Chain A
Amino acid sequence: MLRSTPMKHVRLLVLTEDLPQASLALADLESFHPDPRPPQESRLVDAPGQAYREAYTQAHTRLEKIRKLIPITPRRGTEQVRVVELPELEALNAWLGVIWNEASEFEEELHRLDEQERLVREQQAALANFAHLNIDLGLLRNKTRFLNFYVGLVPRENLRQLEGAVSLADHILHVYMQEGEQAHVVIVGPTETKQGELSAVLEAAGFQNLPIPRELDRAPADLQHDLAVQRQEIERARAELQKRIAQWGTPLLARLRDARQTLILTEPLVTLDPSIRSAGHLAHLAGWVPARSVIRLRVRLEKALRHPFEMRVRRPSAAERPLVPTVPEKHWLLAPFALLVKQYGVPEYGEVDPTPLFAVTFVLMFGSMFGDFGQGAVIVFAAWQWRHKLGRFWPFGLLAGFSSMFFGILYGSFFGEEHLIPALWMNPLSDPLLMLRLAFGWGVLFLSLACLLAIYNRMAIGNWSGAIFGHHGVLNLVFYLALITGGLNVVQADGASGDATGMAAFGTMPLYLLSGSLAGLAWASWRKQQAPVGEKILVVFIETLETLIGYVSNTLSFLRVAAFSLNHVALSIAIFTLAGMMGTFGHILTIILGNLFVIVLEGGIVAIQVMRLQYYEGFSRYFSGNGHEFAPLRLRRDPK
C-alpha cells in the first residue's frame, strides 16, 4: 500500500499507417503514459503525426469558434470508437473552414451592429452636449462655401498630436466633450485646401465621423426619440440576425456534432504526437504502463492493429526513476489525504507514498488534540450534511470527527462537559505530565519512523551512502535514539537517587553510540566540503550542532499534541465558568456559542498544527515530492 504501483517501460514499433489505431487502442485502455524522449536509434527522427496534428488543431479551433455562434450539445449515448484517418480529418477541417467562413460573416455583422449601437450612444451623448454650444449646429452638417466641418470621435490618446497635425493642414480642432477613452471633436478649415492631406491624418488618428442629425432645429426630445428608435431598430436587426444564424445553424447541427465526435477520436493521436518518431513506414512510440496492465495492452494492440508490431517491455532503470510517473492513490477514504499530500508534492517513483501513513497519523493526532465526543459528532454530522459541497474532501471531516469522538470517550468529554460521561481512560487535565510524556514518546516514534522511511527511500533507489550518512539516514537515527536513551537514563537516574549526574547517568552504550554517530556525521560532512580547512571546521561544527539542536527541538515540537489536548479541556472549563455566571438562558447560550467557538476556532488551529507536524517534522525528512502523476492517454468520454 505504501509502495508505488510497479511500472514498466513499453516501447512500440508499429507501421505509420497503424498509428491512428494504435493511439485509439492505447487511449481506450487508459494505461499508457507517453514518454516523449526520442528513441536511441538515430534514424527515427521524423515526426509522422505533424500533418495530422496541424489539421486537428485548425479543425478544433474552427469548431470552437463556430460553437460560439451555434451551441453544440454533446450527443447522448455511447459513441462508437473508430479510427479517423488523415484524409477524413483533412476533409472535416476543410468543411469546417467553409462553415467558419460563413459564420465569420455573421460574426462581422454582429460586430457591425455593436459598432452602430455604440455610435448612436455617442450621438445621444453628443446631442445632450450640443445644447451648451452657442452656434448654429445646422451649419456643422454640411460644407459651406468657405468652410469644411468634421464632427466626430477620436481616441483621447491621439488628441494632442492630431491637433498639431490638423493645424498643419490649415484646420483647427475643438474638443467639445470627452467621454471615456474618446473625445468628441469638431475640426474646421477652409474648403478645398489640403483636404486629401487631412483625410489621411484623420484616418491615421482613428477619427470616426459622427453624422449631425438633420433638422437640428427640432426639439431635442424629438431628436433623442429618433436616436432611441434607431437603437431599437439595431436591437431588432440583432434579433433578426440571431434568428438567421439559428436558421443557418440548425441543419448543420447534426454534422457539427459528428465533427465534434470525430475530433474527440483524433485527440489521442494528437496527444501522442510529440512522443512519436518515425523512419519511412516505421513509427516508434514509448510510454510508461502499470505492470499489471502490460498483458492487457498487448492483447488490445493485437486485436486493434492490422499489421504486425513489436512491443518491448522492460523495468525502468535507476537513472530513469525521476521520469517514471506515479499512479495516484484512488481509494475514496484516502482521497482527501492524497490531496493534502499533493500540496507538498507527488511521490517520486519508488518512493514510499506517504498518504496512508499521513491519513492514520493525522486522524490520531487530530483526535488526541481535540478529543470530545459531542464536538466530534458535530464534525461528523457537518461532513455528512455538506458532503456534496465538500466533494472528495468530506471523508476527511468524517474521519477527523470519528477520531475526535473516540478520544472524547477516552477523555470522558462531551461538549466540554467533563463529568457527563465517564472517561474510559482519563481526563487529560487530571495528569498533564503523563500527557506530555506520551506526546514526547509519540514524537520519538514519529521521528524514528520518518528516519526509517527516509533510509528506505534512499535504499530503494540504490543511494546507500545517502541512506547511511545523509540527512535523517542511519547515523542520524542512531544518534537520535542514543540521545533519547541517554536522556531517559539521566532522567531516571535523577529521579531514583538524585546524585547520579553527568556522563555516568547518561550510560556508556548511548554515549559511545552518540559520539560514534556524531563523529561519522562530522566525517561525512568534512568529506563533502570543498573549502579551506578553517571553513571546513566551521561548517562541520555548525552542521553537527544543528543536527543536535534540530532533533531535540523537533521532538519537543510534539509536545503540542499534549498541550492542545490540555488546552481543549481548559477552554471548556473557561466556557462553563462563564456560563455558570449567567442565568438559565445565558447559560445555555454561552455553552452553545462556546462550543461553536471551540469547534470552529480550536478545530481549525488543531488541524493546522497537525498539518505543520506532518509537513515539517515528517515529510521534510523522508518525502521528496519530486515525482509526477500518472496521466494516461484517454478518450474524452464526456465531451464538454
Chain B
Amino acid sequence: MSNSKILMDTEAVESLVDIMAGKIWTLLNEREISNPLMIGIRTGGVWLAEMLHRELGLEESLGTLDISFYRDDFTRIGMNPEVHPSDLPIPVDDRHIILIDDVLHTGRTIRAALNEIFDYGRPASIILATLVDRSGRELPIQPDIIALHPELEQDQHITLIGPDPLGLVIGSKTNRNSRGDEQGKDA
C-alpha cells in the first residue's frame, strides 16, 4: 500500500459506529422491527458488527458472511486463498436482517452477500448499513444507513484497518496481485 495515511483513528471510528448504532435503532423503531439478525461481511464488516451488536444489545447471536464463493470475479482472480466459512446462527427465513459492511464502493460485495443470504432462505427484509459510502457504484445498490460519505478521487481508496486498533486509512490505489490479496476491499 503506497501513500497511505490515517484518515481517522480508533476514537473517531468509534464515534462513527455510535452514529450508525443510533441510526439503526431509529430505523428499527420506525419499521417496528424486533429481534433482527445482524450479519457482518468479512472482514471489516464483522469488526463493526461486533461493536454494533454489543451497543444495540441484540438478542440473536451475530452472523458472519464470507462472500468468496459468490464473487463475480472468480474467473479473473481465482480462488481466495483465505476463505472462511460463513456462519448464520439461526434460519434467515422470515427474519429481518441488518447487513453490515465497512466500505460501500462498487456494490459488488453487497450483490454477492445478498445472493449468499438468499441461499440460506427467504428473509423478511434486509437493511444495509455501512460505515463509509464512497463514489464509484457499478450496481444499483444503495445503503439504508451510512456514517461517513467522503469525497474521493477515482484512484483513491479508503480501507478500514483493525481490529485492534481500528482506523480508516486513505491512499492511492494499490496494485492488486493476482492472488487477490486485496479481495474484499473493492466493496
Chain A complexes with chain B: no
Which of B's residues lie within 8 Å of A, judged by CB? none
